[in-house]
Amino acid sequence: MSQADHERCPGARHDGGVTAPAEELIVLVDDEGRAIGSMPKRMVHHGETPLHRAFSAYLFDEQGRLLVTRRAEGKATFPGMWTNTVCGHPGPGEDDVSAIARRARDELGLDVADLRPAVPGYRYRAVFRGVVENEICPVYLGRFSGRPVPDPTEVGDWALLDWAAFRRRQDAEGDAWSPWCREQARLIEEQGLAG
């Protein structure tokens, strides 16, 4: 990596010929969703989490079953809860579709296709054990192929469910599911996009 390349990659380290990846950054936004800066991911979530960009994706297999995941117990926010397929944060200059593809690959070893917005204006704030999520979080639907190979630091478990079974589980299990997933599922149904 040249000195010029190093300067274009804020946070990257060059050490003895081995380059470590730059620290993951999250995009901070104002109430209208305009970017106003960035912050390292490790510093964002706490009791007064600033509003930031995110996404949620619901991915279906070839039989039309939804892949749901349980967040790893070591996650900083909402550990151990069941949720949608993948959620995360676009980095500076990264569009949602690219960010979803990146996170699906990193967390589940999956390639995605046919991503399309379902609830583009979704925004929420939720608190669990004193840690706040505060996100402008467009919701996407898409497809995946293959079998998940989860990263255990991100995903504790997974299941394939048809939409009706997914909603029955949410109703039966309540707070075992992330609050954004429960609300997003209802909004997806209201858009006529479920099933």
d(Cα 73, Cα 42) in Å, to the nearest integer?
Answer: 16
Active site residue 87: yes
Residue at 80: amino acid letter? G
d(Cα 30, Cα 50) in Å, to the nearest integer?
Answer: 9
> 3-state SS of 55-92?
EEEEEECCCCCEEEEEECCCCCCCCCCEECCEEECCCC
Catalytic residue among 87, 107, 137, 181: 87
Neighbours of 109 (CB within 10 A): 14
Catalytic residue among 107, 135, 137, 181: 135
Residue at 6: amino acid letter? H
Active site residue 135: yes
Q: Which residues of 44-67 are buried (b: 16+ CB within 10 A; e: fewer)?
A: bbeeebbbbbbbbbbbbbeeebbb
Residues marked active site are found at 87, 135
